[in-house]
Amino acid sequence: MLEPPFSRPFSSRFLCLFGFGFFGSRSAGGRRRTVAMELSLLAQLHERLQGLVLTTSDHTSVVSINLFVTLLCGCIIIGHLLEENRWMNESITALVIGVFTGFFILLVTKGKSSHIFIFSEDLFFIYLLPPIIFNAGFQVKKKQFFHNFMTIILFGAVGTLISFFIISIGAIASFRKMEIISLEIRDFLAIAAIFSATDSVCTLQVLNQDETPLLYSLVFGEGVVNDATSVVLFNAIQNFDYAHIDANIILKLLANFGHLFFSSTLLGAFSGLLSAYIIKKLYIGRHSTDREVALMILMAYLSYMLAELLSLSGILTVFFCGIVMSHYTWHNVTESSRVTTKHVFATLSFISETFLFLYVGMDAMDIEKWKFVSDSPGKSIAISSILLGLVLVGRAAFIFPLSFLSNLTKKSPDERIQFKQQITIWWAGLMRGAVSIALAYNQVFGLMTKPLVRFLLPHNAKPTMSISSEPSTPSSLHAPLLYNLQGTDAEAEAEFVHRGPGLRMLLSKPSHTVHHYWRKFDNAFMRPVFGGRGFVPFFPASPPDEGLQGLP
In the region spanning residues 48 to 107, those forming contacts with its own copies, defined by CB under 8 A, are 49-50, 52-53, 58, 61-63, 65-66, 69-70, 72-73, 76-77, 79-81, 83
8 A C-beta contact, residue 398 and residue 472: no
If 0-12 CB within 10 Å is exposed, 13-18 middle and 19+ buried, where does residue 135 land? Answer: buried
- Print the binding letters for residues 6-35 with its own copies: x by CB under 8 A, - otherwise: xxxxxxxxxxxxxxxx-xxxxxxx----xx
Rounded to a whole number of angstroms, the minimum distance from the CB of residue 451 to its own copies is 22
- Burial class from Cβ neighbours inside 10 Å (0-12, 13-18, 19+) for residue 297 reads middle
What's the half-sphere exposure (Cβ side, CA atoms, 13 Å) at 330? Answer: 27
Query: Binding its own copies by CB under 8 A: which of 91, 205, 334, 443?
Result: 334
For its own copies, give the closer residue by CB, 216 or 350.
Answer: 350
User: Residue 7 or residue 265: which is nearer to its own copies going by CB?
Assistant: 7
242 is an interface residue for its own copies by CB under 8 A: no
Residue 541 touching its own copies (CB under 8 A): yes
Q: How far is CA 281 from CA 275, 299, 331, 400, 523, in A?
A: 10, 16, 13, 48, 18
**Which residues in 209-238 contact its own copies (CB under 8 A)?**
226-227, 230-231, 233-235, 237-238
Q: Do 403 and 417 meet the contact criterion of CB atoms below 8 Å apart?
A: yes
Span 281-320, contacts to its own copies by CB under 8 A: 282, 284-285, 287-291, 293-295, 297-299, 301-302, 305-306, 308-309, 311, 313-315
Among 101, 337, 403, 406, binds its own copies (CB under 8 A): 337
In the complex, least distance from residue 443 CB atom to its own copies, rounded to whole angstroms: 13
Which of helix, strand or coil describes residue 414? helix
Q: Does 523 bind its own copies (CB under 8 A)?
A: no
C-alpha 207/C-alpha 189 separation (Å) is 30
Tell me how far apart the alpha carbons of residues 49 and 39 are, in angstroms, rounded to a whole number: 15
Residue number with CB closer to its own copies (100 or 125): 125
Q: Say if residues 482 and 534 touch (Cβ distance below 8 Å).
A: no
Q: Interacting stretch for its own copies, rule CB under 8 A, among 339-347, 408-416, 449-457, 529-537? A: 339-347
Q: How far is the CB of 145 from its own copies (least distance, A)?
A: 20
Q: Kindly tell me which of 313 and 421 has the beta carbon lying closer to its own copies.
A: 313
Size of the site for its own copies (CB under 8 A): 159
| Subset of 375-414 contacting its own copies (CB under 8 A) | 375-376, 380, 383-384, 387
Residues 430-449 that bind its own copies (CB under 8 A): 432-439
Report yes or no: 306 and 317 within 8 Å, Cβ to Cβ: yes
Please, which residue, 156 or 532, has the CB nearer to its own copies?
156
Q: Are 207 and 134 in contact (CB under 8 A)?
A: no
For residue 223, the minimal CB distance to its own copies (Å) is 8
Closest Cα partner for 432 from 192, 261, 237? 192
Interacting positions 126-155 with its own copies (CB under 8 A): 126
- Which residue lies nearer to its own copies by CB, 278 or 548? 278
Nearer to its own copies, 384 or 508 (CB): 384
The reply on whether position 125 binds its own copies by CB under 8 A is yes
| Residue 530 sits in the site that holds its own copies (CB under 8 A) | no
Q: Which of residues 150-209 bind its own copies (CB under 8 A)?
A: 180, 182-184, 186-187, 190-191, 193-195, 197-199
Indicate the burial class of 449 (C-beta count within 10 angstroms; 0-12, 13-18, 19 or more).
buried
Give least dist CB 167 to its own copies, A: 11
Could you give the string, one character per residue 479-518, with x where binding to its own copies holds by CB under 8 A and - elsewhere? ----------------------------------------
Task: Enumerate residues 6+ apart whose C-beta is below 8 A from 136.
Answer: 200, 204, 220, 224, 319, 322, 349
Query: Among 429, 430, 390, which Cα is nearest to 172's?
Result: 390
Residue 545 is given by DSSP the state -
What DSSP assignment string belongs to 440-470?
HHHHHHHHHHHHHHHHH-TTT--HHHHHSS-
Fill in the amino acid letter for 167: I
Cα angle, residue 193 at apex, residues 365 and 267 outer, rounded to 5°:
105
